[in-house]
Structure 1
Amino acid sequence: MHKTKQIIVIALVVVLMGVLMAQPIKGLVKRDKAEQEQQTNTSTETEAINLASVSSVAKQGLNASLVKEITDLEAALSASSGEERINLLKKLAGHWDDLAKPAPLGFSYEEIGKLESTYDNWLKAGDAFTAAYENLQDTLVAPALIEHAQQAYQKALDLNPKSLDAKTGLGTAIVNKGGAPMQGIAMLMEVVKEDPQNLKANMSLGMFSMRSRQFDKAVNRFKTVIEIQPSAEAWFYLATSYENIGLKAEAIKAFQQSKAIAADPSLSQFIDRKVDELSK
C-alpha cells in the first residue's frame, strides 16, 4: 500500500511540477483580489463539505457489497448516540482506512473526537485530512480539508502541548491555508530545532522552500529527509531543486535514484527525458 501511494504521489508531482514552481507560498507575495475572495469563501466551503458529501464521492468505484456495508453503517449512525455511536464511527473509520480513503477517514475521526476528545483521535483526524488535501491540491475541496486539518491539529496540540507531530501538522496546514504562512513556518522551525531529524517537518520545509524558490534551502531539507528515510518522492524533489540551482550532475544522480526506488514506467519515462535534457 505504501509503495502504491508513493508512486501515485510521484505521478502527481510530475504533472504538477510546473504549477508548483509558478506559485509562491500565499502570503509571501502580494495576493490579488481573486485570491482574497478565495480566502473569504473558505469558511463557506468548509461547511458544505462533511462526512456525508465525501463519503458519497469515496463510494464511487467500490464494489456493491462494500458500498452496502458502509451505507448500512451510516444509516445506523443516524439513529445512534453515546457509546454505540462511537463504536459505529470507529468501525466506519476502519473501513475507510482499509480502503485508503483519507477524506471520509478524517471526518470519521473528527466525529469520534467530538464524542471522545483524545489526543490520538484528533491527531488521526488531522493526519487523514492532511493526506486528503495533499492529494487534492488542485481542487476546490482542498481549502476546506486544510481548514479541518488545522482545527484537528489545534485540538490535538491543546491536549498534548509537547506533541511535535501535532505542531508539525498544524504548521503545515497554516502555511497551506495561506493566511499567515510565516506563523506556520515558525512552528515547523521550532520542531526541527527540537528534533533536527523530524521527517515530516523537514519534508514540509523542503516543499515550502521550493514553492518560494529557495532551492538551496530545499536541497538541505531533502538531503536530511533522505538520510532519515529515502523515498522516490524525496529524491525527485531533491533532483528538481538541484536542477533549479544549476547542479546538473547532482540532479541527474538524484533523478536516477528516484527512478530506481519508484520503479514506475511513467515516472521512468519522464526521468529519462529529464536526464537526456540535463546531459546536453
Structure 2
Amino acid sequence: MLNTKQIVVVVIVVVMIGALLVQPIKGLVDKQEENTTAAADDASSMYTLKSVSELAKQGINATLAQDISAIEQQAEAAQGEQKVTLLQSLANKWEDLAKPIPQGFIYKEMAETTPTLDYWVKSGDAFRKGYTNQQDTALASALNQLAIESYEKAIELDANSLAAKTGLGASLVTGSSNPMAGIALLREVVQADPKNLDANRTLGLFSMQSGQFDRAIERFQTVIEIQADAESYFYLATAYEKIGQKSQAIAAYQKSKELAADPTLSQYIDRQIEALSK
C-alpha cells in the first residue's frame, strides 16, 4: 500500500511536474486569484467547521463519524477550557484520519477561544496542508486565505516565530498578489535558521517554478541533508536535468526511486533515466 509521502510524490511529480516548471510564480498566483478571488474574500463565511466536517465524514468509517459527531455536540455546548479540551480531542481524531481541513477550523476556533501562538500556527499549518493539491479551486483559495490570516495572527503574538513566518511566506506566494513578500519572509527564516526544513523545501519549489534551477539544487541538497525523501530527490534530479548535468540527475532519480518504492513512479523514473543515458 502507498504511504502518504509516496502518494504525494506520484500526484505531484508524475501528473503536475510539467505545469509546475513552465509557469512563473506570479503567473500561478494571478491565475488562481482570477478564478477564485470571490471565494477567498468570503472564506470564513463560505466554509465552516460544520460544513467541512460533514464533508470529511463522508469518506470515513460510520462508527468513527458517529464518535466525532458526539464530541462535536459536546464541544458546541461547552465553554472556556472545557471547550478547548473537547476541540483538541476532535483535532486529534482528524489528525489520525489525515484530514487537515477540519483540523484547521478546529485550531482556529481554539485560538479564538484561547489565543496562543501554538494554536494559530497549527491552524495555519492545517489549512496549508488542506489547500495543497486541493482540486476544488474555490475551496483551495479559501483555505489559502484562512492560512494567511492564521499565520498573521500568530505573528501578532510573536513576531520572531520562524514557524509562523515560514507558513505565512509559503501561503503568500501561493495565494496573494504579492508573492515576493512571501519569498522575502522565507529568506528571513533561512538566514536565521539555515537548516530550516520547511523554508528550504518551499524556496526550492519556488526556485523550480521560476526556472532558477541552480538555486533549486542548493535548496534541495540542504533539504536532503536534513531529511532525505523521494520527493526531494525527484526535484533535485529534475533540476540537474534542466541544467544538463545528466549523471547527477540519474543518481538523484535512482535515489528517488529507491526511497519511494512505488511502481508508478519507478516506471516514470526509468523512462527519464533511459532518456538521459542516450
Matched residue type, 2:276: L
Give the secondary-structure state (helix, strand or coil) at the position aligned to 1:175: helix
Matched residue type, 2:165: K
Give the secondary-structure state (helix, strand or coil) at the position aligned to 2:137: coil
Query: Which residue number corresponds to residue 5 of structure 1?
Result: 4
Question: Is the Cα contact below 8 Å between 2:39 and 2:138 reproduced in 1?
Answer: no
Displacement after TM superposition at 1:195 (Å): 1.2
Matches within 5 A, 1:247-262: 247-262=245-260
Give the secondary-structure state (helix, strand or coil) at the position aligned to 2:25: coil
Structure 2: distance between partners of 1:211 and 1:238: 13
**Percent of residue pairs identical:** 51
Question: Is the Cα contact below 8 Å between 1:192 and 1:201 reproduced in 2?
Answer: yes
Of 181, 205, 221, which aligns to 2:203? 205
Matched residue type, 1:258: S
Of 192, 195, 199, which aligns to 1:194? 192
TM-score, scaled to structure 1: 0.92
Q: Deviations over 1:209-266 (max 9, x none)?
A: 1111111111111111111111111101111111112222211111110111111111
Question: Structure 1 residues 39, 213: closer, same or farther in 2, change over 3 A?
Answer: farther
Matched residue type, 1:272: D
Question: Structure 1 residues 20, 111: closer, same or farther in 2, change over 3 A?
Answer: same
Matched residue type, 2:251: K
Structure 1 gap segments, 5+ residues each: none
TM-score, scaled to structure 2: 0.93
Matches within 5 A, 1:1-280: 4-13=3-12, 14-26=14-26, 31=30, 35-36=33-34, 38-136=36-134, 139-280=137-278
Structure 2: distance between partners of 1:272 and 1:139: 33
Structure 2: distance between partners of 1:19 and 1:140: 19
Structure 2: distance between partners of 1:133 and 1:36: 17
Question: Is the Cα contact below 8 Å between 1:28 and 1:181 reproduced in 2?
Answer: no
Structure 2: distance between partners of 1:28 and 1:12: 18
Displacement after TM superposition at 1:126 (Å): 1.2
Displacement after TM superposition at 1:46 (Å): 4.7
Displacement after TM superposition at 1:81 (Å): 2.5
Q: Deviations over 1:134-183 (max 9, x none)?
A: 23166331111111111111111221222111111111111111310111
Question: Structure 1 residues 114, 45: closer, same or farther in 2, change over 3 A?
Answer: closer
Structure 1: distance between partners of 2:27 and 2:155: 24
Structure 2: distance between partners of 1:37 and 1:6: 29
Q: Deviations over 1:60-81 (max 9, x none)?
A: 2211110111112222333333
CA RMSD, Structure 1 to Structure 2 (Å): 2.1
Structure 2: distance between partners of 1:104 and 1:202: 27
Matched positions, count: 277
Question: Is the Cα contact below 8 Å between 2:151 and 2:165 reproduced in 1?
Answer: yes
Question: Is the Cα contact below 8 Å between 1:109 and 1:121 reproduced in 2?
Answer: yes
Structure 2: distance between partners of 1:55 and 1:209: 35
Q: Could you tell which deviates more after superposition, 35-44 or 120-129?
A: 35-44
Question: Is the Cα contact below 8 Å between 2:10 and 2:264 reproduced in 1?
Answer: yes
Q: Could you tell which deviates more after superposition, 202-211 or 139-148?
A: 139-148
Displacement after TM superposition at 1:28 (Å): 8.8
